[in-house]
Amino acid sequence: MSTATTGRESRTAPQPGVPTARRGIGARLRHPFSRGSADLADSTGSTEQSGGAAGRRSGDPRRSGDPRRSGDPRRWPWILALVLVVLLLAGAVYGVFFSPLLGVRSVSIAGATDPISVKVLAVVDVPDGTPLARVAERVNAVPEVAEVEVARHWPDTLVVTVNPRVPIAVTSANGRYWLMDSTGDPYLAVDAPPAGLVPVKLATPGVGDPATAAALTVVAALSPDFRAQVTDLAARTPYDVRLTLADGRSVIWGEATDSAKKMEILPAVMAQTGTVYNISDPTLVSVH
C-alpha cells in the first residue's frame, strides 16, 4: 500500500475489491426522495390531521349542511305549518263549543212518553245559537232516562232517542217515596206510591245492596194477578223476604232462589186455609 501526502490532507488509495463509500451529494442524488418524501408525507399528514381536528373542534357554522346554523331556511316551512295547525284547532274548538254558527234550532225526541219527552225538551230547550256539543250533555240529567242516543244533524238539528227507565217497585227513604227500576236504583222521588207498583221495605235501598237485589228478583217473579194483591214486600236480608197481602195473610218467601218455582206453586198453597204460608223451601211447604 502506498500513501500520498499533500500538505495537511492525506488520502488513502482505494484498495482492489473494496467498495468505495459514497459520500456527499452523490449519495443524496442517487435516492433523492428516500428521506425527504417520508418527512414531507409525515408533515403533510400531521398538518391535515391537525387541521381536521381543529375544524371539528371549532364547529364552524359556515360548514355545509351544519344543522346548528342560525336562521336555517329549512326550518321555516315546519314552523309555519305548526302555527297553521294550532290556529285551525283553535278555530274548530271555538266553532263547535262557543260559536252560534252551529247552534240548535230544531230538536226531535223519540222513544219516550209524552211526560218524559216534555222533561227532555225542557232540558235541551235553550236559546237559538247554543252549540250542539254543549246541549247534548244535558239529556242525561233527566232521571227517567236510562239510556240516550244523541245524533247531531249538522248544522242545527238535534235528534234525541230515549230509552226510559221502567219502574218495577217503590221504596221509602228519607221520608219520601222513590221509584226503583230493575237495577235497584231509587232514581225518582214521588209523593205517593203509584198504583201497580209493589212497595218494598229495605234497610239500605240502592244498586249493589244484596237485599235490594233479592227483593227485586222476587217482584219480577210475581204474576200480575198476585202482584196486585201485595201491599208490601219486606227484605231485611237477602235470605228473609216476606210478602204481606191486602187480606192480611203473609207469605214467607225466604231467599230469592227458585222464585219461578215458588210462584208456580203459590196459588195452590194459598188455596189452603191459613194466615202464614211458608214456601222458603218449595219442596217442604208449611201453612199456619
Better pLDDT: 45 or 225:
225
Q: Is the pLDDT of residue 92 over 90?
A: no
Q: Is the pLDDT of residue 216 over 70?
A: yes
Q: What's the CA gap between 240 and 208, in Å, rounded?
A: 17
| C-alpha dist (Å) from residue 92 to 95, 135, 179 | 5, 17, 43
Q: Note whether 209 and 217 are within 8 A (CB).
A: no
Residue 104 pLDDT: 62
Report pLDDT digits (tens) over 34-90: 444 444 344 444 444 444 444 444 445 445 555 555 556 677 777 777 878 887 777
Better pLDDT: 271 or 82:
271
**What is the band of 13 on the pLDDT scale with cuts at 50, 70, 90?**
very low
Q: Note whether 131 and 98 are within 8 A (CB).
A: yes
pLDDT, mean of residues 98-103: 54
**ω into 155 cis (within 30 of 0):** yes
0.95 surpassed by pTM? no
Domains of the chain: 104-164 (3.10.20.310), 169-287 (3.40.50.10960)
Question: What's the grid cell of residue 146?
Answer: 236510562
Q: What's the CA gap between 56 and 58, in Å, rounded?
A: 6
pLDDT, mean of residues 4-8: 41
C-alpha closest to that of 180 among 235, 242, 239: 235
Residue 53 pLDDT: 43
Q: Note whether 199 and 233 are within 8 A (CB).
A: yes
Q: Is the pLDDT of residue 286 over 60?
A: yes
Question: Averaging pLDDT over each range in 1-15, 28-42, 152-166, 183-197, which range is the top one?
Answer: 183-197
pLDDT, mean of residues 265-282: 96
Q: Is the pLDDT of residue 136 over 90?
A: no
Flag the least confident range among 32-41, 87-96, 213-222: 32-41
Residue 131 pLDDT: 66
**What is the band of 158 on the pLDDT scale with cuts at 50, 70, 90?**
confident
**What is the band of 212 on the pLDDT scale with cuts at 50, 70, 90?**
very high
Residue 82 pLDDT: 81
Residue 21 pLDDT: 45
Q: What's the CA gap between 38 and 44, in Å, rounded?
A: 10
Better pLDDT: 40 or 206:
206
Q: What average pLDDT does the chain have?
A: 77
